[in-house]
Amino acid sequence: MKKTEILVKERGELLNYLLSNTEISRNKIKSVLKYNGILVNGKVVSQYDYPVKAKDKIIIQTEGKKVKSPVPIIFEDDNYLVVNKKAGLLTVSTEKEKEKTLYHMMREYLKQNNSKENLFIVHRLDKDTSGIVIFVKNERLKFELQKDWNNLALKRNYIAIVEGILEKKQGKIVSYLIEPETSNMVYVTKDKKEGKIAITNYKVIKESKKYSMLDINLETGRKNQIRVQFNDIGHKIVGDKKYGVMSKEKRMFLIANEVELIDPITKQKLHFIIKIPNEFKEFIR
């Protein structure tokens, strides 16, 4: 909210005085009066001809120019802030990087728009994965979502481009993943007791001579799940420098493009979806 304070110097009627002593248009003043945005000596005034006199204090409250978000916003209301993260951007801070993160950017976005709302991360994407990230604005909602995320998240869809042509055009990958304490890499293990089960469904939606575009749906949400599993079956994600071969591609071709969930408090379904980027379509041609 932007506030403009004026100290009256001479007697007059409110509308005429403001027209003569400010650069605000007649229509704008009328609009602000209509919506109770003008106070005289602390009292809300809506009459155009309200009498003002020397030393009266007028406060005009208007909506300031909203600061643009640094990343595309998919949806925002009093409870949710859903954005489209670009590839190469950390979701949250690490020991090495505190400020160049999606979370820090969106906190600053709210702050610069004079919002007193808090911001909490519900889930995260790998640095090199782009797509839908959901933040919430109160801690209770964050807790309820995270407590039962696998059941509340009805759909978690990704689009990926992988190396090679898959023999099975539709299938389910079930494997067990481990992350040793001494490594930041995740591995597939045959030891079911040691690993955590990871289930990924996929469908080929387009092919070229060397690559396949896949529609992927997760049943579980393990760290690096998609990247590790497709690497394990010999179809690395294009541009994956962590689990794939050294690639000349500037980005990894993996995007979280659709999320459907149940709000744990209102019980309403929320559905967020973004289009497949043009660079994905052009690459697979």
DSSP result, 64-90: PPPPPPSS-EEEE-SSEEEEEEPTT-B
What is the pTM (predicted TM-score) of this model? Answer: 0.77
pLDDT value at position 31?
83
pLDDT value at position 199?
97
pLDDT value at position 64?
61
Per DSSP, 101 falls in state B
94: closest CA among 85, 82, 103, 83?
103
pLDDT value at position 114?
65
pLDDT value at position 260?
96
Asked whether the domain spanning 149-285 has the same topology as the one spanning 66-147, the reply is yes
CATH class of 2-62: alpha beta
E strand residue ranges, 77-152:
80-85, 120-121, 130-136
What type of residue sits at position 228?
V
pLDDT value at position 117?
82
Residues 6+ apart with CB under 8 A from 27: none
Report residues of the chain scoring pLDDT below 70.
Answer: 1, 63-65, 95-99, 114, 246-247
pLDDT value at position 223?
92
Angle (CA) 257-262-267 rounded to 5° is: 155
149-285 CATH fold: Pseudouridine synthase (3.30.2350)
Judged on CB neighbours under 10 Å (0-12, 13-18, 19+), 177 is buried
The helix/strand/coil state of 210 is coil
Yes or no: say if 103 and 111 are a contact pair by the CB < 8 Å rule: no
Judged on CB neighbours under 10 Å (0-12, 13-18, 19+), 268 is exposed
pLDDT value at position 99?
64
Residue spans of the domains in the chain: they are 2-62, 66-147, 149-285
Instruction: Give the architecture (CATH level 2) of 66-147.
Output: 2-Layer Sandwich (3.30)
**Inter-axis angle of helices 14-21 and 26-34, to 10 degrees?**
140
